[in-house]
Amino acid sequence: MVDWNDNTVKLAVYLIYGTSFLIMFAALILWKKRVSHIEIMDDFKYLAAFGLLHGLAEYSDIPRFLAWQPSWIFDLVKLLLVSSSFAALLAFGLNIISAGIEERRWLRGIPYGAFLMYIWLLVFTGLDFTNQDTGINYKAADLAQRYSLGLIGAAVTSYAFFDLSGKMKAIAGEIAGKKFMFAGIGFALYAIFGGINVNPVFGVPAVVYRSGIAVLITIAVIGIFRLFEVKQSK
């Protein structure tokens, strides 16, 4: 049996989690120019921002579970990185589903407003990492962002990829459609384990599932960009 409370195991899980999204960020940045001729791919810059911010957020968790001091600094950094990454993820999904539809362009302002509302919530309620009985502590603040920005961002992005899957299948064939569908499945799973469920499942912590999902998402997104690279070279 794996001891999920062992710091070495935790370190490995968070490294896989964070590194997966950082690899996705690097791939998106490196290949962005190769697909610049496809207008909708410009919105993938928001997905790249999500990958960078969320990857760094998982790295920032390492000193937290190693009990480095002062702990409140790492708590605050983690909250800001995760909330901003979720806002970027929501921006990606909303930009994709509103692309080319003028009546939906107002949706693109929602992520910025949602992020500011979350920050206002922390300030208004009195974020306090040192006292569990006053204000809002780290755990409550983390749950608030996961149940709101995280859940909605992942769900909208999942829908966006499923929508693109149908369109790409008609344009570029079944293989292209499946690549987008895999990304949609990945973010649907992330909505569950990153936004809805934060408790262990079958004795395995939710972060372990998130790490596996992060690997799936990264592979799927890289597959999408490789698809367009092949199409361009042909």
Q: Pick the closest to residue 225 from 39, 47, 27, 22 (CA basis).
A: 27
In a domain, 60, yes or no: yes
Q: How much is the average pLDDT of 4-27?
A: 92
Q: How many domains does the chain have?
A: 1
Q: Residue 1 falls within a domain, yes or no?
A: no
Q: State percent of the chain over pLDDT 70.
A: 89
CA distance to 8, 9, 176, per residue, from 65 (Å): 11, 11, 41
**pLDDT for residue 187:** 97
Q: Does 13 reside within a domain?
A: yes
Closest C-alpha to 144, from 159, 163, 127, 158 = 127
Residue 229's pLDDT band (cuts 50, 70, 90) = low
Highest mean pLDDT among 29-33, 39-43, 145-149, 154-158: 154-158
Per the domain annotation, does 84 fall within a domain?
yes
Provide the 3-class DSSP secondary structure of residue 108. helix
Which range of residues forms the domain containing residue 189?
A: 7-233
CA distances from 112 to 23, 88, 190, 220 (A): 25, 9, 21, 27
Is residue 74 one of the residues assigned to a domain? yes
Nearest of 216, 219, 224, 220 to residue 190 by alpha carbon: 216
Residue with more model confidence, 34 or 37: 34
In a domain, residue 44? The reply is: yes
In the predicted structure, residue 126 carries a pLDDT above the cut 70: no
What is the pTM for the complete model shown? 0.88
In a domain, residue 2? The reply is no
CATH code assigned at 124: 1.20.1070
